[in-house]
Amino acid sequence: MKNKMNPIYKWMFVLIAMFFIQSCSDKFENIEGQLNADDLDYTATEDMVQALVGSYNIFATRGWEEPLLLSVRGDDVNAGGLGDQQPFADTDNFVYDQGYWMYNSLWNIHYGDIVGLNTEIELIENFKGFADESGQDAANQYIAEIKVLRAWLHFNLARVWGDVFIIQTTQPDTEIADGAALKDEVMQFVSDQMDEAIPLLPNLRPNEREDIPGGVTRYTAYALKAMANLEMENYQAVADACGAVINSNKFMLYPDFYSLFKKPGELSDESLLEMQFSDYGSSTGDTFYHLYAPFGPQGWTPARENASDGWGFYEPSMKFIKFMLDRNETVRLETSVLWTDRGIAELQADPNYATLPSFVSNTTRDGDIINDYARALFASGKHYLPSVQITSGRNNYGGGKNMIVIRYAEILLMYAEALTRGASGTGMTADQAVNMVRTRAGMTGLSGVTSDQVMDEKFAELALEWGIRYYDMIRLDNFSELSYDGRTFSSDKQLLPYPQAQIDALPSLGGSNN
C-alpha cells in the first residue's frame, strides 16, 4: 500500500506560524517555517500555542479553486464562461471530467490539511506531557479547536464525494487501507467529534476571545454539529445544536447586511467561523491574503485608482436574480450581485423585468463601476471588497478581506427548518427565527412558516456561500430546482467522481462513488 500512496500523505513537517496582535487589526500573521518535530523542545510549553496558530494558518490557506468548486453546481451560481477552465464550466452543467485538476486539487488540499492538522495535534500532545495542570487544560482546548477545523474539512469532502476517508493520524496508511467511510458515517464522526470538543472549548463568541480573536469556541462546534446532522436529516439534533447557540444569547445579526461582507463586518457578533486575512494595515511588507480574483469582474473601473480587477469565473445566476426580484428583495439582492450593463439589458429583455429597482446599476454604492466583460453578466457581491476599503498602496482584488464560513443567520434558518420538519425547539419559534433574518433584510414577517418558505429564505439569505443551496437541494432530492437555464440534473450527478489521480494512487477507493 505504501508504494501506492499519494505523496501528500507522506508530508512529515510541521508548519509553525507565530501569532501576534496588531494595534490596527487582530489577524493571523503568515510567518511560516518548516521545523522537524524532533527539533522542538517540548518542555518549553509556552510554545505550545504556536501549533494552534499553525492550525489556523492551515485552515485559512485555501486554494482559490476550493470555494468555487464547492459552490458552482447550485442554481444560485454560474461558472463564468469563455475561459481556460472549460471543465469548471462543464461541472456547473453537471458534466464531470474525472481527470480535471480542480477535483484533484480540492481532494489533495483538504486531505493534506487534515494530515497537517493531525500533526499539530500530535505536537500539542507532546507538549502536554510536560505541562502543568493549567497547561494541560490549555492543550485540551487547543486540540478541541483543531478537531473542529479538521471536522469542517471532512464535512466538505463528504458533501462533495459522499464516501470518503476519515483520517485522524499523520501516517494514515491503515485508515486508507480500511477503505472509505459512508457519507453518513463521516457526518456522524463530525457530530461525535463536536460532542467531544464542546465542553473543552471557550464559552464565548469567537470575537470575544482575547487570546486568539475570532478563534473557535463551543458555539462553532455546535454549529458544525448542526450542519452535519442536517446532512443526515436528523432534525431534532439540528434543533438542539442550533438551540444551544440561540439560547446562549451571545449572537446577533449584524445590522447592515451590505457591510457584513466587507471590512466593517469582520468578526462581528454574527460570525461563528471566519477565515481571517490581512496586510496588517501596511502598504508594504507581508500579506496573508485569499485570492479573491476568481470571484471578481474583469475590467472594472475602480473608485480607488489602480485597484486590480478579477477573473470573472463566478456569477450569480439569472434564476437567483429573478427569484430575488420577484420577492421585492432590496439589500440582499444589492449585496449579492455586481451588475454589468450587459447583464441588466439581458435581464430587461424579459418583459417581466423591464422595469428594475433603482439600486440595479453597474455602479456600486461605493463607486466602483462594473464594466461589461465577456465571461459573465454579473459577479458576486458577497466576495467583493470596495476598492476604497483596500489598504492604500495595495491593489489585489479583495485584498485583506475576511471570508465568513458560518454565521448566525444560517443557525437561525437551520433551526427554523428543523422545527418545520417536526423537531421541537426551546426559546424561539420557527416564525421568530425566520423573521429575525427577514427583518434585517427589510422584509415583512411571516406567520405559520412552512418548510418551503424556510428553504426560500435560505436561498435569499445564503446564496453564493459555500454551496449551501446546492447541498440543500440534493439533501431534499429537489432535483427540479437544479434543472434550470438549459441544465438537466439527475440523481446520479449528486456527487463528483473521485479524481482519477486518487483512484490510481488509492485502490481502496474502488473507482466509483456514483
Closest by CA to 111, choosing from 167, 184, 71, 42, is 167
In this model, does residue 14 exceed pLDDT 60? no
Three-state secondary structure along 283-327?
Answer: CCCCCECCCCHHHCCCCCECCCCCCCCCCCCEEECHHHHHHHHHC
Q: What angle do CA 91, 458, 144 make, to 5 degrees?
A: 85
Q: How many CB atoms lie within 10 A of CB 36?
A: 9
In this model, does residue 207 exceed pLDDT 70? yes
Task: Write out pLDDT tens, residues 415-461.
Answer: 999 999 999 999 799 999 999 999 999 999 999 999 999 999 999 99
State the pLDDT at residue 36.
Answer: 54
Q: How many CB atoms lie within 10 A of CB 278?
A: 24
pLDDT tier at 25 (50, 70, 90 boundaries)? very low
Cα dihedral 277/280/283/286 (nearest 10): -70
Half-sphere exposure of 392 (CA within 13 A, CB side): 0
pLDDT tier at 4 (50, 70, 90 boundaries)? very low
Q: Where in the chain is the domain with CATH 1.25.40.900?
A: 213-251+406-475
State the pLDDT at residue 508.
Answer: 80
| End-to-end CA separation in angstroms for the chain | 24
Q: What is the mean predicted confidence (pLDDT) over 393-401? A: 97
pLDDT tier at 38 (50, 70, 90 boundaries)? low
In this model, does residue 401 exceed pLDDT 60? yes
Q: What is the mean pLDDT of the chain?
A: 92
State the pLDDT at residue 245.
Answer: 98
In this model, does residue 18 exceed pLDDT 80? no
In this model, does residue 20 exceed pLDDT 60? no
Task: Write out pLDDT tens, residues 77-101.
Answer: 999 976 678 999 999 999 999 999 9
Measured distance CA(512)–CA(389) in Å, rounded: 46
Q: What CATH number does the domain located at 1-201+477-514 have?
A: 1.25.40.890
**Cell 446562549, located at residue:** 248
Distances (CA, A) of 483 to 77, 346, 478: 13, 20, 10
Q: Where in the chain is the domain with CATH 1.25.40.890?
A: 1-201+477-514
Q: How many CB atoms lie within 10 A of CB 489?
A: 21
Residue 351 buriedness (CB in 10 A; 0-12 / 13-18 / 19+) = exposed
Among 23-37, 244-258, 367-381, the range scoring the smallest mean pLDDT is 23-37
Strand partners, 164: 181
Cα dihedral 367/368/373/375 (nearest 10): -120
Q: What CATH number does the domain located at 213-251+406-475 have?
A: 1.25.40.900
How much of the chain, in percent, has pLDDT values that exceed 70? 92
In this model, does residue 16 exceed pLDDT 70? no
In this model, does residue 513 exceed pLDDT 90? no
Orientation of helix 318-326 relative to helix 341-348, angle to 10°: 60
